[in-house]
Amino acid sequence: MMINYFKLRDRFNFAQDTFDIGNPISWNRSHFLKHLFKRIFTVHEDHLNEFYHHHLDFYLVNNAIGSEEHFFRNLWELIERQLKVLIGRDIYAENHVRTQKEIEHLKKFTMILISLDQWNIHKFNDSVIARQESEIFALSRQISTLRSDLRKATSLETVQYINIPKGGLLSFLDLCIQMQDIKLPSGREIVFAEFPIVWVKLICKYFRENHEEIDFNRVRRYFPKDRRNPGSRSSAIPSDQHLFEIKGIKKRN
């Protein structure tokens, strides 16, 4: 709050019961808030209402466009902020007893201010804090859920991989392609993927060729969207890499 919101003590005014802010000789205006609360703590609780109106009258006289609501709002924020500072202090500090007295004094002042609050500013602040706390709680729960989901999603992850020796990738891809045509006695495919790109992701994620990562686009050429109409961008496994055949076993009756 700006220093001109409050009436400052006149020089050489040594009155003990003054509501004015500051010292009677000289003081550093940059430490205004320190002097403000020093004065508030010396005002008896029975005179805090009078203290409020003393400075309100000064503010309204000296600020043509000022209003009591504006004065009240800024004073309320100052008191509320100082209360948080005091409450947050170490209970084992040497000045703990004085801190507790100051907290009680400011709480009494806030009760007086609440009685003067025609604009429900104190309720607005409470609702803002309550909403923020509710949002923080909801975000904390969301973070907890996301962490749990992440643990589940990564539980099967591994830094290990299955290695294919150098020059053996295409023969391995050929086996993967053959597996797509194998059917169980029931007539259903033993493995089925609605989108062939799943095979590409599986191979590139869990396999290596000569301990090196496998190029995604290289593998993708061998798994077209439509095997019956592969298109010009697709490739077939070269005949010299067709080294194995997967066949079903005929069981004896």
Number of helices (H) and strands (E) in the chain: give both, helices first.
8, 3
**Residue 10 — left, alpha, or beta (φ > 0 → left; ψ -120 to 50 → alpha)?**
beta
Q: What's this model's pTM, rounded to 2 decimal places? A: 0.50
Q: Which secondary-structure segment (H or E) carries 129?
A: helix 121-153
Residue with the larger pLDDT of the pair 248 and 70: 70
Q: Which two tokens stand for residue 223?
A: 């798994």
Q: Is the pLDDT of residue 167 over 90?
A: yes
16-24, long-range: CB within 8 Å, 24+ apart, which pairs? 19/43, 19/47, 19/50, 19/51, 19/54, 19/55
pLDDT tens digits, residue range 15-58? 878 899 888 887 788 888 899 999 999 999 999 999 999 999 99
Mean pLDDT score across all residues of the chain: 88
Strand order in the sheet with 207-209: 162-164, 207-209, 212-213
